[in-house]
Structure 1
Amino acid sequence: MAIVKPFKAIRPTRDKVVHVASKSYEAYDPVERDAILTYNPFSFLHIINPGYKFHQDVGGKERFRLVHNRYLEFLEDQIFIQEETPSFYLYQIEDQGHKSLGFFCATSVKDYETGIIKKHEDTLEDREVLFADYLNTVGFNAEPVLMAHKDDKRLAAIWARKIKEQPLYDFTTTDRAKHQIWRIDAPKIVTEIENIFSEMPSLYIADGHHRSASSYLLSEERKSNNPNHMGTEAYNYFMSYLIPESEIRIYEYNRLIRGLNGLSKEEFLIQLDTFYRIEEKKDDPYNPSQKHHFSMYLDGQYYSLYLRKKVYDMDDPLSALDTQILFKTILEPILGIQDLRNDKRIAYRHGKYNILKMKDAIDQGEFTVGFGLLPLTIEEIMAVADADLVMPPKSTYIEPKLRSGLAIYEL
């Protein structure tokens, strides 16, 4: 059963938290990122991009070492402080009217190893090793793994009582998202939360597969180098943000393709007819309306594609996913795309940025054809994970996206 533990977080002082909290490094465009680094000395981006202090780009092990140094400077300057008591941290994000409420905790690498923590994506070994090396050098987790769990009325009741109290942090970021954090350190409540999760058979990684795998590699390395290993050391755990399945928001990733694999438009449509009933929708923006139904934009026109179910077998949770259906009926057999991760002919745009942007990219000649999908559901993701199967890459864009630097777990 699932293990969750409180931890003594390193966290920003209350007066600086709004300045420290940052999105992921890649989420900023270069101009915005440079402005933050120039004018906000408290931003967590200074830790992630330590070379900025020296006006140069650094990489590899040198960057890892400098990240550690910038982190120590934030501690020395009391931008960060350390808790005295192990705690859970309830974190609510309100963005565009939607609230997501979960909590920071330490989760077990043993649960990852034994499959209690379930995954639905493959990881790349070189990235696992690289990030494990990074963690070993910098000595902390700052970006939690996002995991979903089954809704639980007892847990919801604890959260409902807690959010009536004065929060530890309460601030709004420039994207108009409201962030609130409550510390949970009362021993009775901590034990109650631990006991609730000890009855849960599974946790499901929603975002952070490589971070989970790297934390496991790090723990194995440190365990092998520690003759006095007890199993309670910090490296036996990694920081996660656990959230009820009902609080997860999932968007689709649309597929954009360069070229038609040597086919003319007419030849391509004829081959599609094997698997789909095709209807022309003219030039009006069109989204799919149900599962196993896709929209397509080609040569200035929208089409609807309805799967002919008698020519496609759905015999497990993976084969029933729309992302897998599209791959097995169009991308691989007709367009010749076998490697969804590395083939340069395919690109992905998550549905939060809508089907009109897909149309614009095709009209401007960057791509030839685009496919719109419905979002997967959390139930579909859990079913794939429970079956030990792996979804195609870029099957989901999942929110909430958490701010970095709010809670840090030292390794």
Structure 2
Amino acid sequence: MAIIKPFKGIRPVSELASKIAALPYDVMNSDEAREMVADNPYSFLHVDRAEVDLDPSIDVHDKRVYEKARENLDRMIKDGEYIQDKRPCLYIYRQIMNGRAQTGIVFCASIDDYMNNIIKKHEFTRADKEEDRINHVDYCDANTGPIFLTYKEDQIASEIIEAWIENESKRKPIYNFVAEDGISHIVWIIDNEIIINELIDLFKEVDYLYIADGHHRSASAVKVGLKRRKENPDYTGDEEFNYFLAVAFPDNDLMVMDYNRVVKDLNGLTRDQLIEKLEEKFTVTESTSKEPVKPAKKHTFGMYLENKWYVLEAKDGTYNAEDPIDSLDVAILQNNVLTPILGIEDVRTSDRIDFIGGIRGLKELERRVNKDMKVAFSMYPTEVRDIMSVADIGEVMPPKSTWFEPKLRSGLFVHQLK
């Protein structure tokens, strides 16, 4: 049973929403963030990456960065760039990318659901990244970026939710804009108490929610909530710090893009030696097209090497089809190519490998190989149900398995913890 809670959203005034809404803090570095805010004093990156307003010599984890984030958020509220809804609400958040829409419900999720594994995870988190967001949430006393959740559409009376969404979306949205990347963002407010309670009851039918994106943000939000509980031993469980900001989409709405690999060298092998080794586990075919190879099905890979594209098809016995992890394409490539042939033991730490999200296109693989890499592998996208299957058995996905698009914008909703 999943708990969802309405909240008094702090959100931009409508005329500034498109200027405030920003990409998540973790999809760019500090230099890129400084460029993004150069001509936009309203960007939420002034809160999510507050180092953009400080001298570049200051470490991004310095206390002054978190103090600046709180200062900037308070100023935006004081200056009227933000308003707060007078009563707890839910929200509908729709994104449209290349004509394809995904529509979710914005609410607050329970930190107890996270700890009790009602909210399931599929990634490890790093302590340093957690600490950064713990400090950010703690200093701001708010969740500033929503966690991207999903649920199995067939486990809930989804037709009722869809009917509510369809009905509510006939009303005038509070936001409707196209961001600089061409993605549309449309938001409606649900302030009818009857509808809110109906949606709360419907989500009680959901066995599990799954984190699609935002493992570090969710882990950090939970730890701040536990810190608040310790500071308030008489807490009742109803306080806002017991919840964190989230958006939940049905799994059939989501699109996972390919997450491709480029490697700096062939581990001492020649092209012919590499292909010979690959042929032990894969059927290797040189592509007759000049276009990049985009795999059309699972267990098939593209390889770009010395200005040629090849198709690699995993042979029977290369993987265990009954194992949710071993049968993942990222695991097949790792277990049969990257580690045993190219000598990359740990893709998390190796400086010989890089990862390129599918949003950048396969021509980017060619560009990187022609510039500073030696070989590239194009991947078939991981499916949402694959992610759920791994989470259901309490395991984690191999590194860099998923690339969700479109990204949720930060700054459209802020959830105060007090």
Q: Superposition pairs for residues 347-386 of structure 1, below 5 Å?
A: 347-364=354-371, 366-386=372-392
Number of residue-to-residue matches in the alignment? 410
Distance 2:42 2:53 in 1: 13
Cα offset, 1:191, TM superposition: 0.5
Cα offset, 1:120, TM superposition: 1.0
CA deviation map 1:132-181 (0-9, x unaligned) = 12211111111100011122111111101111111122223333332221
**Does 2:296 align with 1:294?**
no
Distance 1:202 1:29 in 2: 33
Give the AA of the match of 1:142. Answer: T
**Segment of structure 1 superposing worse, 124-133 or 62-71:** 124-133
3-state SS of 1:338 partner = coil
Match of 2:313 in 1: 306
Distance 1:184 1:393, change over 3 A: same
Structure 1 stretches of 4+ moved >6 Å: 28-32
Distance 1:110 1:263 in 2: 51
Match of 2:243 in 1: 237
Distance 1:168 1:179 in 2: 11
Match of 1:98 in 2: 100
Structure 1 vs Structure 2: percent identity of aligned residues? 34
Cα offset, 1:288, TM superposition: 2.0
Cα offset, 1:35, TM superposition: 6.1
Distance 1:170 1:100 in 2: 14
Cα offset, 1:344, TM superposition: 0.6
Distance 2:168 2:256 in 1: 27
Give the AA of the match of 1:233. Answer: E
**Segment of structure 1 superposing worse, 332-341 or 219-228:** 219-228
Distance 1:57 1:155 in 2: 49
Distance 1:396 1:39 in 2: 32
Match of 1:340 in 2: 347
Match of 2:125 in 1: 123
Cα offset, 1:98, TM superposition: 1.4
Q: Which runs of 5+ in 1 are unaligned?
A: none
Distance 1:370 1:49, change over 3 A: closer
**Segment of structure 1 superposing worse, 125-134 or 60-69:** 125-134
Distance 1:70 1:49 in 2: 11
CA deviation map 1:362-388 (0-9, x unaligned) = 123x11111111111111111111111
Distance 2:184 2:350 in 1: 39
Distance 1:353 1:164 in 2: 34
Q: Which runs of 5+ in 2 are unaligned?
A: none
Distance 1:382 1:52 in 2: 37
* Aligned match for 1:108, one of 89, 107, 110: 110
Q: Superposition pairs for residues 206-217 of structure 1, below 5 Å?
A: 206-217=212-223
Distance 1:112 1:49 in 2: 26
**Segment of structure 1 superposing worse, 86-95 or 129-138:** 129-138
Distance 1:32 1:348, change over 3 A: closer
CA contact (8 A) 1:292 1:306 kept: yes
Distance 1:388 1:70, change over 3 A: same
Distance 2:132 2:44 in 1: 21
Cα offset, 1:31, TM superposition: 8.6
TM-score normalised by L of structure 1: 0.94
Q: Superposition pairs for residues 313-328 of structure 1, below 5 Å?
A: 313-328=320-335
Distance 2:140 2:29 in 1: 25
CA deviation map 1:235-291 (0-9, x unaligned) = 111100111111111101111111111222222222212211111225623222321
TM-score normalised by L of structure 2: 0.93
Distance 2:56 2:401 in 1: 36
Match of 1:196 in 2: 202
